[in-house]
Structure 1
């Protein structure tokens, strides 16, 4: 697979650990991978490219060092606030893909979070808006925004409310409490797998490989249906998915023919890259 990623700063590490898989590593370990405008711009450029690149089917997002992401760079934010140089409401509304270009991104391709150490504030907004989450046993999670006078408004509130329900979401959002990886998995429901730290990335790669064994057309149409289910009731979701561009690509494309033929011939299918929508 020969791919040329868009230009980016050293605040983001780009790798291709397997065919069809993109890995993005937040790379400000000395600052606990706190989000900067540069890192956010890098993520937007890389994820927009990922969306449009037929050879890439899955992305894994992780963090360098001992924390996945500590959220926004509060020191820089404080400077902006004290100087009155920012309009937070306008900036948030205009930020189509949300915090780190992930927390409100409506991607039809799977996004896997590989969480080492912990995710706080905006970092947790990133995590809960990924499709699959692998966490280290010692990982910690929190929405501490209310402790700093701010709000998890970039996508965290509606997503955790949908995942955990109103009462459990309130417990996280209104108290700012920190929870363990085990609690995140067993009580709040936004972590799929908890593993030793050394196994976080290998487990994320294993999930990615399991996904890319399947038809990319079917996977992306299924992900589209999941996203639509957040916006519509049962019947509306069903028909919106049926008539989506992703569904048309499934039923008019080559991969459905290949999948059914491979089943009949008792062999593994050989999938093609999806056509661009």
Structure 2
């Protein structure tokens, strides 16, 4: 592995020949995606894309979860302003452009999902080319209970009926269900997930890298001709509009007054899941 930029929020290793691995490393926050972490994920992926010794990259999370979603704590760090311009919808455009930018990398990126993969975490996984999950993972978008998704992948990956059910309830899928419904490629027991994902990566990197990269593009170009990229980008406007809705404002005000944990517990109480499960 060549000399790389210093990272504070991700771990980098090369666990097998031609395979780079990027591990989200905020386990105490269930790998909540604040701006510095998002920036480092994308930087590490771009670095791997330019490394001739890498043919595929795995993204996973340290601790109990892949990622519980976006960190709702305000971040005003001037060095993490994003590239999508200012004005209404800036955050939504920025995160979606980031995850969709994974599509534009030459080399395949694999999401290795365990534990919670919620909201922004599911968007990160969606941006990856392949998704392998633990059977008991929980994948969903509970934030639809007070707002609209930033990256609206649901109809494209799950089909209209399952997508509609998930965005109207905020319910989560298990890893097994995610495979059955088309969100993920394969599900494995959590204890063997590392081993199984490395085995799949090992198969992929046997392909000549120039052919591998062209084959990645064929699938993405087909999805783009069907309108996936433009539809997801258009969805950021609906997400931005939702931040002006009464429901969104009420949730954010509750989070400010009582704390985020209590606001989330209240949000999920009627559904018997999330922080209220068990």
Moved more, 103-112 or 55-64: 103-112
Pick one of 38, 41, 46 that aligns with 1:40: 38
Could you tell me the TM-score, scaled by structure 1's length?
A: 0.72
Partner in structure 2 of residue 245 of structure 1: none
Residue aligned with 1:69, SS: coil
- The reply on whether 1:191 has 2:184 as its aligned counterpart is yes
Partner in structure 1 of residue 194 of structure 2: 201
Partner in structure 1 of residue 49 of structure 2: 51
Unmatched runs of 5 consecutive residues or more in structure 2: 76-85, 227-278
Query: How far did 1:88 drift?
Result: 5.3
Partner in structure 1 of residue 17 of structure 2: 19
Aligned partners of 1:96 and 1:105 also within 8 Å: no
Give RMSD over aligned pairs: 1.9
Residue aligned with 2:39, SS: helix
5 Å matches for 1:114-193? 114-147=112-145, 149-153=146-150, 155=151, 157=152, 159-186=153-180, 188-193=181-186
- The reply on whether 1:8 has 2:2 as its aligned counterpart is no
Query: How far did 1:87 drift?
Result: 4.9
Could you tell me the TM-score, scaled by structure 2's length?
A: 0.72
Unmatched runs of 5 consecutive residues or more in structure 1: 78-85, 234-277
Query: How far did 1:194 drift?
Result: 1.4
Query: How far did 1:47 drift?
Result: 1.5
Residues 106-128 of structure 1: CA distance to partner in whole angstroms, max 9, x if unpaired?
Answer: 22311111111120000011112
Partner in structure 2 of residue 83 of structure 1: none
Aligned partners of 2:66 and 2:121 also within 8 Å: yes
Aligned residues: 215
